[in-house]
């Protein structure tokens, strides 16, 4: 199906998101669903990202104050070389390395050619690459809303907090290396290093607060016999949530600054592989951060407030 136009203002509220999702699923790669709305449909962006993954572009054709029109375009999956596969996703690069597939000097070959050279089953390798991608991204069928808050909190820690912690050393060192080696010729790489280090520092402090204070309290709310009138360090779960949300805003702003500095993660012409890897890792990191914050701001936190109010 080619481009689809949906006037969301004439749809029943309960039909709005399902209609848009159906249309998005039906359009062919490279085509778009254009939605016309009377308010900013940003929550849809996060829902689509959570349920379909990073497979679309989101462009405002009209951005208020009365009319919002957004083009949601489904990305095309081109047949990529192994160099492209590796440079776009560090997890896939690590898997290729483990399989002994050379994606640096031999990076211009297709995956099929590389597998034949190594005597590997290409279907199996494709499957493993998909599994590597799922390691830190939400699968399309995960129904986060149906989970208990304790399970969701554990999921966020095990998937997203672990990803941030595992990425911290690599991103810290890679941005440092790139700034040291190429910063004199391209000072923007020094700014990128500084912003990246600031983001990593702030996020790691933030994760500790969630893991040590907020998430244990949210789990307590679900414990039978919990008495909210007993002292727990704060009057209401709303206080730490507000603090976490303002820290999310600050982290999101830093990630956007990095996105701007890297020109939407567009690797500069003639730059070395380290710069390419840094840009792709930063893009991957921002994508993970968006999903991470989406799960907290839009699901875990509102449900925790609702549960506390009921007790």
Binding site for Fe ion (CB under 5 A): 210, 296
Least distance to Fe ion, CB of residue 308, Å: 18
Closest CB to Fe ion among 152 and 278?
152
Least distance to Fe ion, CB of residue 43, Å: 18
Closest CB to Fe ion among 192 and 210?
210
Closest CB to Fe ion among 210 and 283?
210
Closest CB to Fe ion among 114 and 149?
149
User: Cα-atom radius of gyration of the chain, to the nearest Å?
Assistant: 22
**Would you say 221 and 308 are in contact if contact means Cβ atoms under 8 Å apart?**
yes
- Which residue do the tokens 């290409």 mark? 122
Least distance to Fe ion, CB of residue 249, Å: 11
Least distance to Fe ion, CB of residue 209, Å: 8
Least distance to Fe ion, CB of residue 261, Å: 23
Least distance to Fe ion, CB of residue 256, Å: 17
Least distance to Fe ion, CB of residue 216, Å: 13
Least distance to Fe ion, CB of residue 252, Å: 11
Please provide the DSSP assignment of the chain as one string: ---EEEEGGGS-HHHHHHHHHHHHHHSPTT-EEEEEESS--HHHHHHHHHHH-S-EEEEEEEE-SS-EEEEEEEPP----BHHHHHHH-HHHHHHHHHTT---STTTTSBHHHHHHHHT--HHHHHHHHHHHHHTTS--TT--GGGS-HHHHHHHIIIIIIHHHHHHHHHHHHHHHHHHHHHTTT-THHHHHHHHHHHHHHHHHHHHHHIIIIIHHHHHHHTSTT--TTS--SSS-THHHHHHHHHHHHHHHHHHHHHHHHTTTT-PPTT--HHHHHHHHHHHHHHHHHHHHHHHIIIIIHHHHHHHHHH-
Question: Helix 90-98 and helix 273-295: axis angle, to 10°?
Answer: 120
- Which residue do the tokens 């778009």 mark? 32
Closest CB to Fe ion among 283 and 296?
296
Closest CB to Fe ion among 191 and 211?
211
Closest CB to Fe ion among 128 and 154?
154
Closest CB to Fe ion among 89 and 210?
210
**Would you say 85 and 103 are in contact if contact means Cβ atoms under 8 Å apart?**
yes
């Amino acid at each position: 199906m080619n481009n689809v136009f949906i006037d969301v203002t004439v749809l029943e509220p309960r039909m709005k998101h399902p209609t848009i999702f159906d249309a998005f699923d039906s359009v062919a790669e490279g085509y778009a669903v254009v939605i016309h709305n009377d308010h900013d449909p940003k929550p849809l962006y996060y829902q689509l990202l959570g349920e379909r993954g990073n497979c679309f572009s989101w462009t405002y054709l009209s951005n208020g104050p009365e009319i919002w029109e957004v083009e949601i375009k489904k990305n095309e999956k081109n047949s990529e070389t192994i160099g492209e596969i590796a440079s776009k996703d560090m997890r896939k690069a690590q898997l290729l390395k483990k399989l002994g597939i050379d994606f640096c000097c031999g990076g211009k070959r297709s995956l099929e050619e590389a597998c034949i050279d190594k005597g590997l089953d290409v279907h199996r390798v494709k499957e493993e690459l998909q599994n590597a991608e799922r390691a830190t991204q939400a699968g399309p069928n995960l129904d986060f809303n149906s989970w208990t808050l304790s399970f969701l909190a554990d999921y966020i820690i095990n998937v997203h907090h672990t990803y941030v912690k595992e990425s911290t050393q690599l991103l810290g060192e890679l941005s440092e290396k790139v700034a040291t080696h190429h910063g004199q010729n391209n000072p923007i790489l020094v700014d990128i290093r500084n912003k990246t280090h600031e983001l990593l520092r702030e996020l790691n402090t933030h994760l500790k607060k969630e893991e040590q204070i907020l998430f244990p309290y949210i789990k307590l709310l679900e414990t039978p016999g919990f008495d909210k009138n007993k002292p727990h360090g704060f009057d209401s779960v709303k206080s730490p949530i507000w603090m976490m949300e303002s820290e999310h805003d600050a982290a999101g702003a830093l990630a956007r600054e990095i996105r701007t500095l890297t020109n939407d993660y567009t690797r500069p012409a003639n730059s070395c592989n380290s710069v390419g890897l840094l840009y792709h890792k930063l893009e991957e990191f921002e994508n993970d951060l968006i999903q991470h914050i989406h799960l907290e701001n839009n699901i875990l936190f509102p449900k925790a407030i609702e549960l506390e109010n009921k007790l």
